[in-house]
Chains A and B, each alone.
Chain A
Amino acid sequence: MDKYYLLLGIVLVFIGIFGIIIRKNLITMLVATEIMLNGVNISLVSVSHFLGKVDAQVMSIIVLTVAASEVAIGLGLVVSIFRLKGYEASEEITELRD
């Protein structure tokens, strides 16, 4: 049974990577990052359930704090970018992509 939850976590990480690759909207890309982090969390918790130890859940809590700070910084950056570029569109921000 734990195998299937591990598999669910892996598939969710790949869905997140796929979303980051194909979308242009910055907020949707941040949401895809969150999906990846949640997939990692499910994998950690399923391993914890499998081994009967709670150590992996501690790492999952640390992933939660990293996700919270990532949202704070990432959304601040998104608003700053929109303000700096004069509210055009996020598809013009391709300096790191090209």
Chain B
Amino acid sequence: MELLVFVVISTIAIASALGAILVKSPIHVMVWFLGFILSVAASFFALKADLLAGLQLVIYAVAIVVFYVLVITTIPWEKVKMFEGFYKKEFVFALPAFLFTVGASIYLVINSRLSNLRQPLPKDNVSALGTVLFTKYIAPFELASFILLIAMIGAIIFGKEKANG
């Protein structure tokens, strides 16, 4: 049963990730990307990370995708080329390297021996995660909020420049 769930999730994830980087129109890219995000959230549920799956749905599938679509609609596509093609030479050279690295990592991971420290995850994922987040990792948490503050200031500065010029 677990294997079946994994096969379904990974097929959808890899297919929609490849679709997102290969289709032409930016709006179609966003649709493929939305499918990718949903499959990633499903894999978080399968790995018993409930809080992260919820955050994935709320932050990625709602906030970030809507933000992308908003920006895509503000670009005047009658002046900008919708599809600019691929870098041909890079494609020819990158494809064998991509296939080789994927094959090598599949070989290495399948033949690797992970540690035997298998402990069951805590029953209540949200309370366990919150406890660790607000005690042991309080400094990275504060740093993350600082990163968000800097990003907000930067976005405001970009917006002001557009309004003035």
Q: Which of B9, B91, B140, B158 contacts A58 (CB 8 A)?
A: B140
Complex Cα spacing A34 to B20, Å = 11
Contacts of A7 in B (CB 8 A): 105-106, 109-110
Q: How far is the CB of B46 from chain A (nearest CB, A)?
A: 8
B interface residues, Cβ below 8 angstroms from A: 2-3, 6, 9-10, 13-14, 17-18, 20-21, 26, 29-30, 33, 36-37, 40, 43-44, 46-49, 51-52, 55-56, 59-60, 63-64, 67-68, 71-72, 74-76, 79-81, 83-87, 90-91, 94-95, 98, 101-102, 105-106, 109-110, 112, 114-115, 117-122, 125, 128-129, 132-133, 136-137, 140-141, 144-145, 147-148, 150-152, 154-155, 158-159, 161-162, 165
Contacts of B159 in A (CB 8 A): 76
When C-beta atoms are compared, the residue in chain B nearest to A65 turns out to be: B144
- Across chains A and B, the number of contacting residue pairs, with CB separation under 8 Å, is 239
Complex Cα spacing A6 to B95, Å = 22
Known A32-B21, A48-B121, A64-B56; further 19 A-B contacts with Cβ < 8 A: A7-B110, A16-B17, A18-B95, A27-B68, A30-B68, A31-B68, A38-B36, A42-B40, A51-B119, A54-B122, A54-B132, A55-B132, A57-B49, A58-B140, A64-B55, A66-B147, A68-B148, A70-B151, A72-B152
